[in-house]
């Protein structure tokens, strides 16, 4: 039921080989899907192209998710090249360094706007852009990535926690509105993983240690484990699931003390 042969997907958020989005790209490719990958800037284009060389006939396209014109051009290219879309993986997230290192109460209006725009609103903008492409295929699956810092305070996560809370709320509203078009919208809340984004969070190694000590499974989550959960949510096996935040964190979220 997790077979994706003949399916077309867009994956946003690949930065390097440690990206969750990249792990998902590999998993869906292995299950038969053809994927399109995006890069947000010339600085990351080389990384994405080098990784994409490991895939079978991928599309590599530019897209700054903070730019509506870029998103429109992306949708037009996908329409022309693929003729429709079966799934979207939204892995875009960003907050200025100062917004993560300074106390939350000192978050500037501009840093707050950037974090919410890139990390949360981009899901709305991308969903709107791909909706017609998914309707053409009889429906689809949209998946985003979040973290338990959306509902609990983590040191130095700050405005990103607020952005993830907005992202999870957006999942529910989008799921409600797009359900009649047979488009499902879900999120995975993964345990902490050493990604490029995590490198910007001071004390991240301590967070990893706490998870290892307190999670019922006694270990940190691996990229492949998150990718397998994503494959499930993108496939027909999860056809009755929408508006869900699936916790893939070794059970850490159930522990109170």
Token pair of 109, please? 């209006």
How far apart CA 163 and CA 93 sit, in angstroms, is: 9
Q: Long-range contacts made by residues 162-167, C-beta under 8 angstroms, separation at least 24? A: 162/112, 162/115, 162/116, 163/93, 163/95, 163/115, 163/116, 163/119, 163/120, 164/93, 164/119, 164/120, 166/116, 166/119, 166/120, 167/119, 167/120, 167/123
Catalytic residue among 7, 39, 157, 211: 157
Catalytic residue among 7, 39, 164, 211: 164
User: Residues 121, 64: contact at Cβ < 8 Å?
Assistant: no
CA 64 → CA 45, 70, 102, 121, distances in Å? Answer: 12, 6, 26, 13
How far apart CA 164 and CA 145 sit, in angstroms, is: 9
164 given a catalytic annotation: yes
| Beta strands across the sheet bearing 59-62 | 59-62, 34-39, 8-12, 87-90, 140-146, 183-190, 245-248
Q: How far from each other are the two terminal CA atoms of the chain, in whole angstroms?
A: 37
Token pair of 236, please? 């027909």
Q: Which residues are catalytic?
A: 157, 164
């Amino acid at each position: 039921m997790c077979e994706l042969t003949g399916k077309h997907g867009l994956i946003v958020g690949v930065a390097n080989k440690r990206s969750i989005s990249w792990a998902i790209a590999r998993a869906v490719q292995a299950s038969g899907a053809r994927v399109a990958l995006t890069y947000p800037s010339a600085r990351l284009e080389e990384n994405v192209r080098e990784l994409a060389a490991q895939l079978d006939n991928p599309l590599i396209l530019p897209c700054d998710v903070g730019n509506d014109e870029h998103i429109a051009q992306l949708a037009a290219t996908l329409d022309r090249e693929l003729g429709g879309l079966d799934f979207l993986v939204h892995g875009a997230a960003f907050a200025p360094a100062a917004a993560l290192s300074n106390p939350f109460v000192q978050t500037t209006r501009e840093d707050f706007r950037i974090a919410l725009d890139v990390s949360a609103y981009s899901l709305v903008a991308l969903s709107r852009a791909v909706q017609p492409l998914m309707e053409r295929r009889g429906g689809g699956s949209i998946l985003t990535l979040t973290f338990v810092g959306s509902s609990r305070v983590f040191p130095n996560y700050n405005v990103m926690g607020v952005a993830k809370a907005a992202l999870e709320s957006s999942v529910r509203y989008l799921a409600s509105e797009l359900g009649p078009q047979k488009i499902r919208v879900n999120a995975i809340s993964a345990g902490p993983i050493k990604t490029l984004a995590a490198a910007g969070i001071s004390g991240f190694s301590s967070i990893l240690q706490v998870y290892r000590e307190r999670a019922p499974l006694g270990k940190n989550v691996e990229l492949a484990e998150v990718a397998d959960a994503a494959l499930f949510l993108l496939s027909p096996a999860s056809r009755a699931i929408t508006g869900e935040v699936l916790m893939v964190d070794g059970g850490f979220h159930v522990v109170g003390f």
